[in-house]
Chain A
């Protein structure tokens, strides 16, 4: 019997659904998982990049998301849509990675003002105008804005994800929009 690793990746691309690829990947098929990566990494990277506001961290976040996906893919319930499941998993993983990254600096630079730890902002021309402004927002405000405005989450979902009050989520979103409007005007 031909092993799934031997199947040409283009064949997987053309003939196999996400659910089928997930099943193959859950059985340890790296080619199938690679195909899932090829299909979805840009979407995951978009979330990661907007959360992180810079490429280096976005790449780390994206990698962590796919490692998490590999470790959890056997828990994918075939009755739900793979993209929805993947999106939720990646958003949670991205938030966790961002928290770990944040506490890393807090832990070792206790006397430093956290506001001085703002990451470099990406200003490359190829990015959408909104992304150039989003990265200037403070971290938590940025994550709330991305989740609500771009990813379509509700405030109660965001509050639950970030472990904050719903009012705080609304406040962050309101201030983010204010700041972005000021940048645009």
Chain B
């Protein structure tokens, strides 16, 4: 691709000629090659035998699962400790209404999860970090729901519960994308 030789929209707005010239000189003298600090070949070579494996980095998904577990553990523990303080001694009519809302939201969420899981049901990904992350989220969401049913006016628990549901849906969509990617990767065209 051709290098931009002029930027007329910049010239009028430049603060002063000197720094611009200095910047241009720096750009012109910037090296096109940089040596990595470590030899990257062994790590690359180790993955070459997986030529047909998905390009998703296994370590990355392991990190994702770990991060999810740590985040959830901290959040659930924190919220769980706070929940008893807001427990009502007697369920008010507002609480009953909220509990009803919780049940309805939980039902809709379960239906959505079920729909998303259909696509990947046949893919046996037991032990996959992403699958583990989804399972952790499911457990955490159930716990949050139980806590919320005990304290339906606790706004933080509401936020946590809804957030957990969103994350669950998001990861399920990610898993579906990976499933689609695996299914379609051998039919890709010649584009990069």
In the bound assembly, the distance between CA atoms of A42 and B35 in angstroms comes to: 5
Q: Is the interface of A mostly helix, strand, loop or mixed?
A: helix
User: What's the least CB distance linking B60 to chain A, in Å?
Assistant: 7
Does chain A have a CB within 8 A of B82?
no
Within 8 A of B (CB), among A33-65: 33-34, 37-38, 41-43, 45-46, 49, 55, 58-60, 62-64
How many B residues are at the interface, by size bracket? 35 or more
Q: Which of A46, A60, A109 is close to B31, meaning CB atoms less than 8 Å apart? A: A46
In the bound assembly, the distance between CA atoms of A66 and B64 in angstroms comes to: 23
Known: A148-B4, A152-B2, A154-B2. A67 touches B44 (CB 8 A): yes
Q: Which of A45, A67, A85 is close to B34, meaning CB atoms less than 8 Å apart? A: A45
Closest to A68 in B: B55
Within 8 A of B (CB), among A5-56: 28, 30, 33-34, 37-38, 41-43, 45-46, 49, 55
Q: Which of A42, A62, A129 is close to B26, meaning CB atoms less than 8 Å apart? A: A129
User: What's the least CB distance linking B175 to chain A, in Å?
Assistant: 13
Q: Could you tell me if A30 and B71 are in contact, using CB atoms closer than 8 angstroms? A: no
Q: Could you tell me if A110 and B163 are in contact, using CB atoms closer than 8 angstroms? A: yes
Q: Could you tell me if B15 and A185 are in contact, using CB atoms closer than 8 angstroms? A: yes
Q: Could you tell me if B10 and A88 are in contact, using CB atoms closer than 8 angstroms? A: no
In the bound assembly, the distance between CA atoms of A55 and B38 in angstroms comes to: 10
Q: Could you tell me if A59 and B19 are in contact, using CB atoms closer than 8 angstroms? A: no
Proximity string of chain A (169-184) to chain B, C-beta cutoff 8 Å, 1 when within and 0 when not: 0100110011011101
Q: Lowest 8 A-B CB distances belong to which pairs?
A: A152-B3, A42-B33, A46-B34, A130-B26, A181-B19, A185-B19, A89-B192, A184-B19
The contact sample of 18 A-B pairs, CB cut-off 8 A, is A43-B33, A45-B36, A58-B36, A59-B36, A63-B43, A63-B44, A66-B40, A92-B192, A108-B67, A109-B71, A130-B30, A150-B27, A153-B4, A154-B1, A155-B4, A157-B1, A180-B23, A185-B18
